[in-house]
Amino acid sequence: MKVMGAVDLRRDKDSSVVLVSPDSFPEAIKATIPSYPHLITITAVHIDGGIELIYSFDNLRGEMRNIIVRLPEKEASIQSISSYLKGSYIYEMEVRDLFGVNFLGHPIPSARLLLPDSYPTNAPPPLLKTVSLEQLSRILDEAQRQEPPTMLTPVTGSSRYSVESLVILPFGPYHPALKEPEHFAIALEGERIVEAMPRIGYVHRGIEKLAENRTYLQVLFLVERVCGICSFHHSWTYTMAVEKLLGITPSKRAEYLRTLVAELERIHSHTLWIGLLGYWSGFDTMFMWLWSARERIMKLLEMIAGNRVNKSFITIGGVRRDVSDEKLKIILREIAEFEREFRKITDEVMSYDPLIERVRGIGSYNAETAILSGAVGPVLRAAGIPYDIRKIEPYGAYPEISFNVITGSRGDVLSIADVRVRETFESIEIIRQVIEKIPSGNPVPPTFFTGGGRDGEAIARTEPPRGELYYYIRGRTGMKTPYRVKIRTPTLPNLVLASEALKGYTLSDIPLILTMIDPCFSCEDRAIVYVGRRDPFIVKLHRTPPREISGGCTL
């Protein structure tokens, strides 16, 4: 069987890896996009005195193509590809922030994506190998001493906006209609949204740098805490990448148990989201119903792993503890109970006209916009694209489980809700099959892996509740710590889509449309779209002529 997703990037003989020079780079990209329209992410690695950029594409059917280009360390620059693929702009900003690479022709030049405002402009980019964690902390502490933290006042650029009738409304970072810190500059014409520009990064913790300073086993606990909702998927994807790098094969039973916990996580996450949908559309009872049903799943997770949220269930080479047959029986029983409850509640709410009327046709988008933005998960599937990593690149126990990929026919809040409800039922079926087919054996490795890495790189992808999650790990022989860990979470591309989908709707729809993608800013916060106060810049509108917004607009 072809080991999916694990590419020995340099030694691969098939066409999935293309090494190009900066000069022939634009041609290579142009030739790739028609058949590989989904840009997964851009991974940068500072290695051997240069910066390597890996553009990972997928053809939406599970075949990847990696285009690798090497840039010099000093004054690295390369052509931006955002004119071909809109969604790439956010990845380019990430690389610019963390590695100092300049992207020529970028729609938002010289803006920051991830770093705090207090990050000195003359400080080295944080992910360069030439700067240590201690040096960085010292530089930033010093900067903070000179300028103690103050509340950021986002300055609106309304008076400078080239169209006089537009008002720019700063929205967030702490706002009653937002559950997580983020900021949007919303350009309004009357009540209608013309443009929405996100500025995130309030939750940026610098996890990728921390990971380079901890051992392989310690990083497992760190990445679990990238996100407290999909915590298990983060640790699983990381573990998969490490196992591929080191050639470790976990036992079959371990793979089944991992699948079991992953699907329980999907159920609790989807239930949580459907509850929040009720909350944001003024249907509090629905929120309470669903969250109390969800507790049944949380109890199961606690029973399996000993903790509800950050479960620390998985380990490199297996899982940390077995689940006994009695417990599996309890899971079967409870899951049946949950299904009954969940069906009753969703039948009730999804046929409640005021709710349907509130969410139908809100935040609509089509498949083309979704692909161009790079959207993943239920957001992409609701527009009719069956992109599900569990199916196109099966991992864990999924190759032996039969299940359907749920798709919708149009993208809007209602159809995404519908997709999530149906996916929950599908997950329940998967859990039944897992428990029925689970092989016996010992899933716990005799000792925990505490070793180091070896030369090489590995890619792993999974399908958490919010969509494709991507990990890239580079190891070095003799190093106890990973040389580079790159994480691409699903909310980042989905946010590009949400900003698109906001256009044309009114202020009161913002919470619903933002909730639509089930944003998780803790996951995503490696991203900020920020423009310096005095920097004139151009925001390129999708399919409309560029409009100039200059001066004090904090995006």
Partner 1 sequence: MARDNLRMIRKSPWVFHFNSGGCNGCDIEVVAAFTPKYDVERLGMTLTSSPKHADILVVTGPVTRQVAGSLKMIYDQMPEPKIVIAIGTCACSGGIFRGGYNVIGGVDKIIKNVICVPGCPPNPRAIYSVIKKLYDNKIGGDEGNGSSRS
Q: Which residues bind partner 1 (CB under 8 A)?
A: 115-119, 126, 133, 136-137, 140, 144, 149-152, 173-174, 176, 179-181, 201-207, 209-210, 213, 221-222, 225-229, 231, 272, 287-288, 291-292, 295, 298, 308-310, 520-523, 525
Pick between residue 225 and residue 343 the one whose CB is nearest to ligand SF4.
Answer: 225
Q: Does 225 interact with ligand SF4 (rule: CB under 6 A)?
A: yes
Q: Does 308 interact with ligand SF4 (rule: CB under 6 A)?
A: no
Q: Does 218 interact with ligand SF4 (rule: CB under 6 A)?
A: no
Taking the complex as a whole, the smallest distance from the CB of residue 58 to partner 1 amounts, in Å, to 27
Distance CA 136, CA 317 (A): 34
Q: Please state at what angle helix 325-349 crosses helix 252-280, rounded to 10 degrees.
A: 30
| CA atoms lying within 13 Å on the CB side of residue 22 | 16
Taking the complex as a whole, the smallest distance from the CB of residue 309 to ligand SF4 amounts, in Å, to 6
**Cβ within 8 Å of residue 410, ≥6 positions away:** 364, 366, 382, 383, 384
DSSP 8-state code for residue 124? P
Pick between residue 70 and residue 225 the one whose CB is nearest to ligand SF4.
Answer: 225
Pick between residue 150 and residue 447 the one whose CB is nearest to partner 1.
Answer: 150
Q: Which does 356 bind (CB under 5 to 8 A by kind): partner 1, ligand SF4, none?
A: none
Taking the complex as a whole, the smallest distance from the CB of residue 75 to ligand SF4 amounts, in Å, to 37
- Beta-carbon neighbour count of residue 164 at 10 Å? 7
Taking the complex as a whole, the smallest distance from the CB of residue 228 to ligand SF4 amounts, in Å, to 5
Taking the complex as a whole, the smallest distance from the CB of residue 137 to ligand SF4 amounts, in Å, to 19
Pick between residue 309 and residue 435 the one whose CB is nearest to ligand SF4.
Answer: 309
Distance CA 423, CA 417 (A): 10
Q: Does 228 interact with ligand SF4 (rule: CB under 6 A)?
A: yes
Pick between residue 45 and residue 222 the one whose CB is nearest to ligand SF4.
Answer: 222
**Cβ within 8 Å of residue 185, ≥6 positions away:** 154, 156, 157, 168, 169, 170, 171, 196, 197, 199, 553, 554, 555
Distance CA 522, CA 167 (A): 30
Q: Which residue has the tokens 């013309």?
A: 194
Question: Which H or E run contains 523?
Answer: helix 521-524
DSSP 8-state code for residue 509? G
Pick between residue 18 and residue 220 the one whose CB is nearest to partner 1.
Answer: 220
Pick between residue 136 and residue 187 the one whose CB is nearest to partner 1.
Answer: 136
Pick between residue 228 and residue 394 the one whose CB is nearest to ligand SF4.
Answer: 228
Taking the complex as a whole, the smallest distance from the CB of residue 447 to ligand SF4 amounts, in Å, to 26
Interface with ligand SF4 (CB under 6 A), residue from 77, 215, 251, 310: 310
Residue type, 401: I
Q: Which does 174 bind (CB under 5 to 8 A by kind): ligand SF4, partner 1, none?
A: partner 1
Q: Does 179 interact with ligand SF4 (rule: CB under 6 A)?
A: no
Q: Which residue has the tokens 């409640």?
A: 352
- Cα-based distances in Å from 43 to 203, 213, 255, 428: 21, 19, 28, 35
- Positions in the binding site for ligand SF4 (CB under 6 A): 225, 228, 309-310
